[in-house]
Amino acid sequence: MDLSAITAIDWSIIFDCLAVVIGAVTGALFAVARKLDIVGTIAIGVITAYGGGIIRDVLLGSQGFFFMQRPLLIVACALIAAAVFAFSRTARKLESGLFYADALSMSWFALAGTLKAWNAEVGIVLSIVLGVITAVGGGALRDICTGETPAIFKPGSFYAISAFFGAAFFVACECLGVPLLVSSIGCVVISFALTLLSRRFNWRTREKGE
């Protein structure tokens, strides 16, 4: 098997695309659950899909904006959000699964953000920080746009903490020369599993005084 074609792939772009698509779905589900109209649903879908990545790209500066480089993906996200709205009755039945969709979206964004930052050679600390920002940024902007306090600032299940451990695992693997596939899968699995476990066993961030 010729591995040259595989190693030549820019995985950061692929992971970004996957994260954006999942983010569009979760953002649209969030909007439908709050009974927004089609414009609001599309807007929230796109904001959720791109918010964290835009913040990351602004901080990276010279690396370019993923949002601006693939306009057809923006159209695809808008169409995905519109489809969720069109089947809103079915989508509302899936509201109970929004937590799991959010957890999956966050995990992919953690990977996409950390990988792009690592490839930009910003160092260990900033790669982890940018991975976390990418993971939670879109959800935070989504919450703000719908008039809610961002979930990452409220007591509850792990999100930013899960993203941190996933990003840290990825960076540690890269420092040790672990194959990209292993470090990538590990990042997603750790982020996703920690978030689910925090809900299952009621591991919660708590406000001062609790």
Average pLDDT over residues 60-77: 83
1 pLDDT band (50/70/90 cuts)?
Answer: very low
Cβ–Cβ under 8 Å, residues 67 and 134: no
Mean pLDDT, the chain, rounded, equals 85
Average pLDDT over residues 203-209: 62
HSE of 195 in the Cβ direction (CA atoms, 13 Å)? 27
Q: C-alpha angle 8/74/104, rounded to 5°?
A: 70
Mean pLDDT lowest among 59-68, 170-179, 181-190: 59-68
Q: Which residues pair with 156 in a beta bridge?
A: 205
pLDDT of residue 158: 77
- Does pLDDT of 195 surpass 60? yes
Cβ–Cβ under 8 Å, residues 93 and 174: no
The domain locations on the chain are 9-200
206 pLDDT band (50/70/90 cuts)?
Answer: low
Task: Return the H-helix or E-strand segment holding 196.
Answer: helix 180-200
pLDDT tens by residue, 93-136:
666 677 888 888 899 999 999 999 998 889 999 999 999 999 99
| Buried b / exposed e along 104-130 (16+ C-beta atoms within 10 A) | bbbbbbbbbbbbbbbebebeeebbbbb
Mean pLDDT lowest among 5-9, 50-54, 139-143: 5-9
Question: Backbone dihedral region of 176: left (phi > 0), alpha (psi from -120 to 50 degrees) or beta?
Answer: alpha
Residue 114's identity, in one-letter code, is T
CA distance 155 to 157: 7
pLDDT tens by residue, 11-61:
777 878 888 898 899 899 889 888 899 999 999 999 999 998 889 888 888
- Does pLDDT of 77 surpass 90? yes
- Does pLDDT of 69 surpass 90? no
Question: How many helices (H) does the chain have, and how many strands (E)?
Answer: 10, 0
Candidates 168, 162, 142; CA nearest to 204 is 162
pLDDT of residue 94: 63
Percentage of the chain surpassing pLDDT 90?
45
pLDDT of residue 157: 66
User: What is residue 176's three-state secondary structure?
Assistant: coil
Task: Return the H-helix or E-strand segment holding 10.
Answer: none
